[in-house]
Amino acid sequence: VESVDWWQGRTVLHRLGLDLPTEAQWERAARGGTATPWYRGREVASLLRPPVGNLADRTSASVLGAQGPAPTPGLDDGYVMHAPVGSFPANPFGLFDTIGNVAEWCRDEYVGYATPPATGDGARPLRAEPTTVMYRGGAFDLPASEARSANRAGGPPDRRHFGIGLRAARAVSTR
């Protein structure tokens, strides 16, 4: 799902008994159990062959020219914009598209790391009417450096953008 704002995403997910992941949950899922900047490795070169995600690349640069984003050197994933879900290998947790395609809304308000996360789901405080909320990950129009598992950004909750989408989350019993 892309081009959906944070409010709409949460509303629809709640109707389905789901929610957005916290940023801590999102990062853990994106890392796939690794401790590296991308689940595939420490260097951009680890993302190249075979391509691990849909990012700004040679294909988009050849089609979009100077109007397009700066490509990730050495990457050619074959897509100018969005790739079909599952076009690239899953991470070690079996999750697809945790590197590129679209950045994903998280449940948290955008606050600094000095604000402590809650025990358990890692949620950060959320006001009833937040002005800036979190999204994580990279998108098809960003270089690999912007798709690191730890990359974070924020935007107004009513923002709709073709490079921002969502990933549903649900509570899982550990019993």
Q: Which two tokens stand for residue 147?
A: 């798709």
Is 70 exceeded by the pLDDT of residue 158?
A: yes
Residue indicated by tokens 């909320």: 133
Q: What is the pLDDT of residues 49-72, one digit of tens each?
A: 899 999 999 999 999 888 888 899
Q: What is the pLDDT of residues 66-110, one digit of tens each?
A: 888 889 999 999 999 999 999 999 999 999 999 999 999 999 999
Percent of the chain with pLDDT over 70: 98
**What is the pairing mode between strands 152-155 and 133-136?**
antiparallel
Phi/psi at 135 (5° precision): -135, 150
Q: Is the pTM of this model over 0.85?
A: yes
H-run or E-run covering 27: helix 23-31
Is 80 exceeded by the pLDDT of residue 26?
A: yes
> What is the arithmetic mean of pLDDT over 31-52?
94
Residue 173's pLDDT band, with cuts at 50, 70 and 90, is low
